Amino acid sequence: MPVEVTWWGHATCTVEDSDVRVLTDPLFARRLAHLRRRRGAPPAPDARRADVALVSHLHADHLHVPSLAELAAGTRLLVPRGAPRAVPGLRRLAHLRVTEVAPGDVVPVGGLLVRAVSARHDGRRLPLGPHRAPALGYVVEGEARTYFAGDTGLFDSMAEEVGPVDVALLPVGGWGPRLGEGHLDAGRAAEALARLAARSAVPVHYGTYWPIGMDAVRPHEFHAPGDEFVRLAALRAPGVAVHRLRHGESVRLEVAR
């Protein structure tokens, strides 16, 4: 049975596996604080439909309360442990079934198992206070094993804790002219791909949002990461099929078992 991945932009994807729809880090806004969506229309209404939504960490471009409010009543929402305490707006989303998770936790959703894994990234809700929750990735196990990395840098236990996987959804860029600590750029994402022994990959977290007024500042950092990841993945992990999707585009992946 094929697994289908749709990239809506930034870190927002839909993964359809075993008749279950999984939505990652929902972000539907045209503008977020100082960021403007520069490429790709906001996700279609169908993007709001999911059986479970996964939130990787508390940064506002990954845990966006107004976007989560658009999800249908009864949608399961997995968030890092401590998130409702750190982000009071989450507690107002009474129409969602919120579950807090930490690395190692496994949550069944229909025919899937969703496993929270570690990420190397600052988990604070910047700049709104001292409360912390762990930054996470997720491995979705059904017909395929699909890894959604959220935001992360490389970490020593990545291969052991996450891999091997069939599909890797890996961040390859960001939303500004520089990437800080705890991120993957195209080169580090290609290295992650080699460590994970993945069969297929989709680059995410690039080419969508950019700071207002900075269109001319290092524009290659906005446009180039997807193509650069394709190039470097061919060198570092030549057996992996990389699918660089356009916004709103889907790919169906046959999984051999």
pLDDT (tens digit per residue) in 224-236: 999 999 999 999 9
* Mean local confidence (pLDDT), 9-32: 96
* Mean local confidence (pLDDT), 146-173: 94
* Mean local confidence (pLDDT), 210-239: 87
pLDDT exceeds 70 at position 1 = no
pLDDT exceeds 80 at position 151 = yes
pLDDT exceeds 70 at position 130 = no
Q: Looking at residue 211, what is its pLDDT?
A: 87
CA distance 187 to 145: 23
pLDDT exceeds 70 at position 178 = no
List, in order, residues 6 or more apart from 210 with CB less than 8 Å away: 35, 36, 38, 175, 176, 222
Class of residue 33 by CB neighbours under 10 A (exposed 0-12, middle 13-18, buried 19+)? exposed
pTM of the model: 0.94
Mean pLDDT of the chain: 91
Which residue(s) pair with 100 in the sheet? 79
Q: Looking at residue 182, what is its pLDDT?
A: 66
Terminal Cα-to-Cα distance of the chain (whole angstroms) = 10
73-118 pLDDT, tens digit per residue, is 999 999 999 999 989 999 999 999 999 999 999 999 999 999 999 9
SS3 26: coil
Other CB atoms within a 10 A radius of the CB of residue 126 amount to 10
**Sign of the CA dihedral running 2, 154, 180, 185:** negative
